[in-house]
Amino acid sequence: MPKIIFVTGGIVSGLWKWVITASIAKILQSAWLKIWVLKMDPYLQVDAGTMSPYEHWECYVTYDGWETDLDLGNYERFLGTYLSKKSNVTTWQIYLSVIEKERAWKYLWKTVQIVPHITNEIKDRILEVANKNDITIVEVGWTVWDIESAPFLEAIRQLKRDLGRENVFYIHLALLLELDFSGEIKTKPIQHSIIKLREYGITADMLVCRTSKSMSEKIKQKISMLCDIDENSVIEWKNVETIYEVPEKLQEQNVWNIILQHFWITKNINLNDWDEVVKKIKNPKKEVNILLVGKYTKFDDTYKSVLEAFKHAGAELETKVNIKLLESEEIEKNPEILEKLKKEWFVDGIIVPGWFGKRWIKWMMEAVKFARENNIPFLWICLGMQVAVMEFAKNVCKLEDVNSEEFDENAKNKVIALMEEQKNIKNLWWTMRLGHYEAVLEKWSLAYKLYGEEKILERHRHRYEVNPAYHKILQEKWLVLSWKSPNWKLVEFIELKNHPYFIATQAHPEFQSSLQKAHPLFVGLVKASLNS
Ligand code: GLN
C-alpha cells in the first residue's frame, strides 16, 4: 500500500509550510526510503508561468519543462533530487482533465460533479506518484480556511478510507499566537484550525506550531488536550538561523520516529552529512559582497533560487555571501550608483538574473559595461546573457542600432532573435524552450573548467537566442561562445577572455543548485569574488 503524509496549514498563510514538507522529506530520505513530494496548488492557473513575480514570487521550472510554484524548488534544494511536472497539481489542471474526459464521453449518462469526479481526479494524481515511492509527502497549498482548498481536503480525507488509517498521516501547521501587548500565548486560533480540519473529517496526527518563543510543557499539554493530539506529536517550530536547520530541529523532537511508527516502518535516519553543511553555513570563515541587479527586487522570493544558490555556494566555500538587491531602475535614477556601491559597499561580484520585458534593458547594459570594464567578476543568467551580448555588440563590436527581436523587431542588428523554427508558431507557450537541454562544452572553456564535464544539462525558460548571423563577429572580438546545444546550434554560454570571471548562460543554473550540491557557476562566482 502507498504511504502518504499530508501537510495542511491553518490560521494564516505565509507560515512557510514548505519548510516542514521539505524537512520531513529530507529526514525520511536519510533513512534510505524512496521519497516523492507533491504540491497541490488551489489557484486557477494551469501552471505558474503566467503569474506576476510581484504577486507569486519566482516561477520555478522542473527538468521536464513545467513552470511551477517556487515550492518545488524548495523541495529539490533539500532533497538534492529532481521532481517533475507530476509534483505540481493545480485546480485548473484537475478541471481541465475532467472536462476533457466529459467531452470524450468518459462519464456518459452520469452527472459530472465535484464529488466524485474532481476528487477522484485529485486522488488519481496523488496515487500515480505514491504507488511508485515508499513515502509521498503531499503539501496542500493555502490554508484549510480557503474555499478553493475544499475539493483537495475532501480528496485527502477520502484517501484515508481508500488506503487505510495506517497508511496516511496528517500534519497540520498553525501559528501559535503571541499577543504583543501582553506577551501572552494564545492557543485558541490553533484549536479553531483543528476544528476546521475536523469539519472535513480529518484528524491531525501531528501539529506543528509556528512560534517565535519556546513552548512550555504546559502549553503543549493544553494544546494536546484541547486538540486531541498526542503530546509528543505537538511539535515546536521556532525561528532558526537558517531554514536548513529545521530537519535537525524536527529530528530532535522525534518527528521521524512518530511518522515511521505510524507506518509500521523500522528504519534509522542519518542526517550527519546534512548537519555538516548546515554547520558551515552557520560558521563562515570568509565574507564576500555580491550585488544583484534585477528587475523585481521588492521581494526576496522573486529570486528565491538565485539567493539559495549563493547560500549553497557559500556553504561549500565556508563563506558568508552578503547580497545587495539593486533594482535596475535605480541605475536610471542615479547613473553613478554602481560606482558608488563599488566604493562604499565594496562590491566583489555582480549577478544579473533572468527576467521578461523590455523595461530597463538600457540600464542593465550599463551594468554589463561597468562589470566588464572594471574587471568585476560576474554571472549573467538568461536575459542577462542576452543583454551582455547586446552590450558587447554595441560597445565592443561597434554595431549600430543593436537590439533583441523581443524588444524591437525593426532594429538593424537583432543580435538576439527567434530561431527560424519558432517563427510560425503562434501559441507563445510553444515557442518557449523549457526544461532540460543539453550543452556541449569546449574543453578549453571556463564553463568546462567549472563543470568538469563536456556534456551538461541545464534548465531553460526563454524564447529568444543569440542570432547565428552574429556568432562570427562576436567571436572575433571576444567572446568565447562556449557552447552550443548540439542539435540547434544554440549558444548556451558566453565568456569573455582576459577577465577574472565573466560568464553568462542562456539557462537558469540556479534551478539546479541544492544544499549538498552547490552549482559550479555560483561557486565559481563566489570564488572569483573572494579573490577580487
Ligand atoms: N525574455 C527572454 C527570452 O524569452 C529571457 C527570459 C528569461 O530571462 N527567463 O528569451
- Residues 360-371: what's their mean pLDDT? 86
Question: Mapped to the 3 state alphabet, what secondary structure does 159-186 carry?
Answer: HHHHHCHHHEEEEEEEECEECCCCCCEE
Q: Which of 59, 209, 227, 382 is catalytic?
A: 382
Write the residue with the smallest CA distance to atom 5 of ligand 1.
Answer: 383
- CB 525: neighbour CB atoms within 10 A? 27
Determine whether the shortest distance from the Cβ of 510 to ligand 1 is under 6 A: no
Residue range 105-131, pLDDT digits in tens: 999 889 999 999 999 999 999 999 999
The pTM (predicted TM-score) of the whole model is: 0.94
Tell how far the Cα of 469 is from the centroid of ligand 1, in angstroms.
20
Tally the C-alpha atoms within 13 A of residue 176's C-alpha that lie toward its C-beta: 23
**Pick from 41, 43, 44, 49: nearest CA to 429:** 49
Least confident of 197-201, 265-269, 332-336: 332-336
Tell how far the Cα of 529 is from the centroid of ligand 1, in angstroms.
26
Is 397 one of the annotated active-site residues of the chain? no
Torsion of CA 328, 330, 336, 338, to 10 degrees: -40
Query: What is the fold of 3-270?
Result: Rossmann fold (3.40.50)
**Pick from 352, 334, 337, 333: nearest CA to 292:** 352
Instruction: Round the average pLDDT of the chain to a whole number and report it.
Output: 91
Same fold for the pair 3-270 and 284-530: yes
Least confident of 125-129, 243-247, 460-464: 460-464
Is 56 one of the annotated active-site residues of the chain? no
Please, which pLDDT band fits residue 480 given cuts at 50, 70 and 90? low
CATH superfamily name and code, 284-530: Class I glutamine amidotransferase (GATase) domain (3.40.50.880)
Domains of the chain, by residue range, sit at: 3-270, 284-530
Q: Is the peptide bond before 509 cis (omega within 30 degrees of 0)?
A: no
Of ligand 1's listed atoms, the one at least distance from the Cα of 355 is: 8
Contact 292, 303 (CB under 8 A): yes
Residue range 31-57, pLDDT digits in tens: 999 999 999 998 887 777 776 655 657
At residue 483, the pLDDT reads 61
Determine whether the shortest distance from the Cβ of 387 to ligand 1 is under 6 A: no
Of ligand 1's listed atoms, the one at least distance from the Cα of 382 is: 8
Determine whether the shortest distance from the Cβ of 462 to ligand 1 is under 6 A: yes
Question: Mapped to the 3 state alphabet, what secondary structure does 185-249 carry?
Answer: EECHHHHHHHHHHHHCCCCCCEEEEEECCCCCHHHHHHHHHHHCCCHHHEEEEECCCCHHHHHHH
Residue range 55-80, pLDDT digits in tens: 657 889 999 999 998 899 999 999 99
Tell how far the Cα of 74 is from the centroid of ligand 1, in angstroms.
22
Beta strand pairing call for 286-294 and 349-352: parallel
Residue range 297-310, pLDDT digits in tens: 777 778 899 999 99
Determine whether the shortest distance from the Cβ of 294 to ligand 1 is under 6 A: no
Determine whether the shortest distance from the Cβ of 464 to ligand 1 is under 6 A: yes
Is 510 one of the annotated active-site residues of the chain? yes
